[in-house]
């Protein structure tokens, strides 16, 4: 999830579990990747021809720290067990293009070097090293001072008055790693886009008075994206696939005004509006460029969207704007481990409408239960070959890595266009 205080609501240390370890082993055996050699059992999915497939993934790594520079130090020493487990998951699933959420961004260029050299390039728990040739990162709003009193407490200081909740600039940042070239000059970021510039925005109001939650000054300055929204073109063959990435705020930690629920809704709406140049005609990126005139041919939406289509505390079921979009397909990634966890943990999970096998986050069972909030959604122009959630069942290889984050890596294989 997006903020440290979120752990008061969701489980801070997840129970550990994965999708089909066997699926990934079969895939890599077929590709000659040299991973652990073991037989492909009956329920394994068919191996994938790497020559025509690209694996996209999203992973909220929980690599956030309370102080600026702490993550950079942990990455530099190469001995942090949590990061070793995060690296093990990436080495095991081996995505070609991946969004990492909650990767603190102070000193990020050096931090990414250390993450690659000290963790990804080193075998973790018996996995083969993995190397990423290309990377993309940009500024985010978390911890960035707004200079206005956003929460109305009469003070202009602290994480609640930052453009996105955070104790220092760059906390809970984002990072894209890729084995395919990134067309950086064509990338667009929407970090500074103001919420008030969205037509018919879901403006938070006080239910008892109907008055706006934010002051006129705050509303005129508040940015919509709690971290940032990026369109990152990835060159694959003769085509480009636009990697649309974000990390909306959780729809909780507010009051009857529901300002976080409203913001989560409109952050997801922003993703939807990016898909249509007419609908998103109001948008201007941080360089004041509009969306391209032509609709994107190929895209993959990725991120921790903090919204479940059936359960949880979302306002207005915002993720349905993407799942039901005529240009978007939902591969419905699943795992046996998630289904096992929902049954074993009980609590709120017993009351859920959605099937536990689609969950991607392991949260407080007495408050909200496990949820599907992490997504990889390709455009319908792309042919989906396979998908999954890294959530092993108890006792399976990888189970012991999962306490590194309360989120699970989600992956989708698509045929290269």
Torsion of CA 322, 170, 135, 61, to 10 degrees: -70
Distance CA 360, CA 342 (A): 11
Q: What is the mean pLDDT of residues 379-391?
A: 98
Could you give the count of Cα atoms lying within 13 Å of 256 in the half-sphere of its Cβ? 6
pLDDT average, residue stretch 195-224: 97
Share of the chain above pLDDT 90, in %: 86
pLDDT of residue 314: 97
Identify the bridge partners of residue 412 per DSSP, sorted by sequence position.
56, 387
For residue 51, the model assigns a pLDDT of 57
Read off the pLDDT of residues 259-271 as tens digits, 9 standing for 90 and up: 999 999 999 999 9
Q: What is the spatial distance between Cα 409 and Cα 299, in angstroms, rounded to a whole number?
A: 19
What Å distances lie between residue 77 and 67, 86, 115, CA to CA? Answer: 17, 15, 10
What per-residue confidence (pLDDT) applies to 375?
A: 99
State the Cα–Cα distance between residues 399 and 208, nearest whole angstrom. 48
Q: For 229-239, how does the pLDDT look when each residue is reduced to its tens digit (9 = 90+)?
A: 999 999 998 89
Residue 27 binned pLDDT confidence (cut-offs 50, 70, 90): very low
Q: Tens of pLDDT along 129-156?
A: 999 999 999 999 999 999 999 999 999 9
Mean pLDDT of the chain: 90
Q: Give which of 316, 315, 299 is closest to 375, Cα–Cα.
A: 299
What percentage of the chain has pLDDT greater than the value 70? 88
SS3 63: strand
Q: Give the pLDDT of residue 123.
A: 99
Mean pLDDT, residues 29-58 taken together? 50
How far apart, in whole angstroms, are the C-alpha atoms of residue 357 and residue 366?
19
End-to-end CA distance of the chain: 33
**Whether pLDDT at 313 is above 60:** yes
List CB contacts of 200: < 8 A, sequence separation 6 or more: none
pLDDT at 23 over 80: no
DSSP 92: H
Ordered by start, the domain boundaries in the chain are 4-415
Bridge partners, residue 54, by sequence: 414
pLDDT per residue as tens digits for the range 181-203: 999 999 999 999 999 999 999 99
- pLDDT band of residue 52 (cuts 50, 70, 90) is confident
At the top level of CATH, the class of 4-415 is alpha beta
Positive or negative CA dihedral for 141, 143, 148, 151?
A: positive
Check residue 18 and give its pLDDT.
38
Question: Could you tell me how far CA 355 lies from the centroid of its own chain?
Answer: 21
Instruction: Decide if pLDDT at 306 tops 70.
Output: yes
Cα-Cα-Cα-Cα dihedral sign, residues 87, 88, 91, 94: negative
Q: What average pLDDT does the segment 396-416 reach?
A: 98
β-pairing verdict for 53-63 and 97-103: parallel
The three-state secondary structure class of 242 is strand
Asked if residue 122 lies in contact with residue 88, where contact means CB atoms within 8 angstroms, the answer is: no
At a CB cut-off of 8 Å and minimum separation 6, what does 390 contact? Answer: 18, 19, 89, 92, 93, 335, 398, 408, 409, 410, 411
Per-residue pLDDT tens digits for 154-183: 999 999 999 999 999 999 999 999 999 999
Read off the pLDDT of residues 269-294 as tens digits, 9 standing for 90 and up: 999 999 999 999 999 999 999 999 89
**Cα 402 vs. chain centroid, distance in angstroms?**
16
Name the band, by pLDDT with cuts 50, 70 and 90, for residue 5: very low
Burial (CB count within 10 angstroms: exposed 0-12, middle 13-18, buried 19+), residue 305 = buried
């Amino acid at each position: 999830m997006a903020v440290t205080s979120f752990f008061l609501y969701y489980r801070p240390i997840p129970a550990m579990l994965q999708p089909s370890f066997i699926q990934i082993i079969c895939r890599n055996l077929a590709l000659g990747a040299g991973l652990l050699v073991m037989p492909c059992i009956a329920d394994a999915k068919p191996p994938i021809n790497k020559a025509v497939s690209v694996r996209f993934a999203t992973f909220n790594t929980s690599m956030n720290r309370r102080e600026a520079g702490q993550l950079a130090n942990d990455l530099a020493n190469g001995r942090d067990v949590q990061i070793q487990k995060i690296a093990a998951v990436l080495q095991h699933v081996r995505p070609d293009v991946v969004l990492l959420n909650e990767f603190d961004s102070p000193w990020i260029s050096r931090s990414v070097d250390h993450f690659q050299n000290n963790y990804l390039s080193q075998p973790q728990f018996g996995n083969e090293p993995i190397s990423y040739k290309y990377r993309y990162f940009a500024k985010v709003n978390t911890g960035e001072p707004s200079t206005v009193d956003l929460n109305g407490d009469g003070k202009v200081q602290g994480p609640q008055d930052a453009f996105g909740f955070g104790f220092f600039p760059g906390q809970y940042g984002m990072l894209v790693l890729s084995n395919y070239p990134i067309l950086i000059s064509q990338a667009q970021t929407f970090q500074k886009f103001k919420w008030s510039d969205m037509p018919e925005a879901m403006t938070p109001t006080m239910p008892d008075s109907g008055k706006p939650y934010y002051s006129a000054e705050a509303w005129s300055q508040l940015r919509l994206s709690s971290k940032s929204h990026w369109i990152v073109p990835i060159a694959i063959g003769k085509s480009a696939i636009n990697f649309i990435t974000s990390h909306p705020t959780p729809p909780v930690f507010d009051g009857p005004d529901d300002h976080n629920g409203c913001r989560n809704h409109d952050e997801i709406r922003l993703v939807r509006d990016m898909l249509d140049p007419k609908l998103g005609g109001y948008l201007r990126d941080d360089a004041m460029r509009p969306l391209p005139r032509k609709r994107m041919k190929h895209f993959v939406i990725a991120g921790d969207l903090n919204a479940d289509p059936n359960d949880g505390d979302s306002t207005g079921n915002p993720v349905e704007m993407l799942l039901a979009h005529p240009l978007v397909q939902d591969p419905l990634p699943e795992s046996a481990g998630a289904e096992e966890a929902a049954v074993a943990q009980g609590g709120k999970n017993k009351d859920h409408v959605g099937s536990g096998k689609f969950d991607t986050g392991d949260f407080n069972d007495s408050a909200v239960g496990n949820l599907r909030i992490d997504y990889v959604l390709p455009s319908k122009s792309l042919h989906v070959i396979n998908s999954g959630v890294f959530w092993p069942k108890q006792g399976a290889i990888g189970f012991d890595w999962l306490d590194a984050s309360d989120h699970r890596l989600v992956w989708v294989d698509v045929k290269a266009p």
